[in-house]
Structure 1
Amino acid sequence: MLSRIKWLSFSIELFLAVPIFGNLAGESIPYLLCLISLWHLGVFFISRSDDQPVLGSVLGIIASFLNFFPVIRLIAHAITAIVLIFEIQKAPGME
């Protein structure tokens, strides 16, 4: 189940890394990214309890709060998506 949650987190981050969608979500719905940070916080606790990597969730929380800087938010979401895909591929039991 954790792999599905991580895949969903990856999908959200990848969606927000695309300039059209990321800028639209960041400028039109700024509180959406606060909800996404809560999502990443939940994934962080689930990952930590299963002894899985948590770096992607931590970066997701940070990326969500970088919402107020247009170019930086896109870069932060892209980096988070890359880290999450590596976590999904490298972690034991995450396929």
Structure 2
Amino acid sequence: MISRIKWLSFSIELFLAIPMLGNIAGDTIPYYLCLIAVWHACVLYISRSEREPVLGSLFGIIASFLNFFPVVRIVFHAITALILYIEIKNGPGTD
């Protein structure tokens, strides 16, 4: 179950890392990234309870609050997506 949740987080972060789409979402819906931060906090809680890596969720929370710096926002969302992808591929059941 946690891998599906992380795949959704990865998809959201990858969407936000695309310059045009991420800028539109970040600029037109100011509270959208706060909701994403709450989503990452929930994923962080679930990951910790299942003893899974939490680095991707931590970076997701940070990336959500760096919304006010356009270039930094895009880079951080891309880094978060990469970290989540690595966590998913190295997680249990992907042997």
TM beyond 0.5: yes
Partner Cα separation in structure 2 for residue 85 and residue 35 of structure 1: 21
Contact 1:3 1:94 (8 Å CA) reproduced: no
User: Does the aligned pair in 2 maintain the 1:23–1:70 contact within 8 Å?
Assistant: yes
Measure, in 2, the Cα distance between the counterparts of 1:20 and 1:67: 14
The one-letter code matched in structure 1 to 2:56 is G
3-state SS of 2:40 partner:
helix
> Which residue does 1:57 correspond to in 2?
57
Q: CA deviation at 1:11?
A: 0.1
Q: Which residue of the partner structure matches residue 48 of structure 2?
A: 48
Amino acid at match of 2:66: L
The answer for unaligned runs of 5 or more in structure 1 is none
TM-score after normalising by structure 1: 0.97
Spell out structure 1 runs of 4+ moving beyond 4 A. none
Matches within 5 A, 1:1-95: 1-93=1-93
Q: CA RMSD in A?
A: 1.1
* CA displacement 1:11-49 (0-9 Å, x = unmatched): 000000000110001111110000000000000000000
Question: How far did 1:94 drift?
Answer: 5.6
Between the two proteins, the alignment pairs up a number of residues equal to: 95
